[in-house]
Amino acid sequence: MAITKRNSGLETPALWFEDVAVGDVLPDLVKEPDTRQLVMYAGASQDFVAIHYDHKVAAEAGHPKVIIHGALKSAWLGELVTGWIGSTGRLLELDVSYRAIDFPDDTATCVGKVTGTRIEDGVGLVEVEIGLRNAEGQITTPGRALVSLPTKSAFS
């Protein structure tokens, strides 16, 4: 996670646009979800679709156990990106696609890689390819993010 320092009331960015390059890999974010977390997420999001908590409903749908909410996987990917950019960066866009089902009690790893950088209207923009990788190494939830990072010239 990025660490920032406070000087004279200004927060010094832990990650500058100039320090990011295409090909940079974000630190992995590992999740160990369990059914308790799914129940907690269901309550917080008001998403009470039974396939996320009822083993009988999941079995009737052909699954070995309940399945993780897609929106929860999306939130984890958002956490990956916002943890990397720190409090002085901004998440501008987050797009994901649910390509495969993930299950509780399986390790889920959020991964990311910088695919583009540019300055637009004085703002440092960074494109990031993101994904949720299951225990078998398959990306089940691919996506992309667009973030803005402070530039050294704009900060001084």
Report whether 97 contacts 142 (CB < 8 A): yes
pLDDT tens-digit map of 15-45? 999 999 999 999 999 999 999 999 999 999 9
The answer to whether position 99 is within a domain reads yes
DSSP string across 68-136? --HHHHHHHHHHHHHHHH-TTSEEEEEEE---S---TTS-EEEEEEEEEEEEETTEEEEEEEEEEE-TT
Q: Can you give the residue range of the structural domain that contains 75?
A: 13-155
Instruction: Give φ, ψ of 37 to 5 degrees.
Output: -65, -35
Tokens of 43: 């309550």
Which amino acid, residue 15? L
Quick check: helix, strand or coil at residue 56?
Answer: helix
Better-scored residue on pLDDT, 156 or 106: 106
Give me the phi and psi of 11, to 5 degrees please: -90, 120
Whole-number pLDDT of residue 70: 96
In a domain, residue 1? The reply is no
Neighbours of 108 (CB within 10 A): 22
| Mean model confidence pLDDT for the chain | 92
Residue 81 lies in a domain: yes
Share of residues in the chain with pLDDT > 70 (%)? 93
**pLDDT tens track for 86-129:** 999 999 999 999 999 999 999 999 999 999 999 998 899 999 99
- Say if 3 falls within a structural domain: no
**Chain centroid offset of residue 136 CA:** 19
Cα distance between residue 67 and residue 51, in whole Å: 6
**What would the mean pLDDT of 56-84 be, rounded to a whole number?**
97
Confidence of residue 60 (pLDDT cuts 50, 70, 90): very high
pLDDT tops 80 at residue 47: yes
- Is 6 within the bounds of a domain? no
Indicate which CATH number applies to the domain containing 98. Answer: 3.10.129.10
**How many distinct structural domains can be found in the chain?**
1
> Residue 73 domain-assigned?
yes
- pTM given for the model: 0.90
Residue 140 within a domain = yes
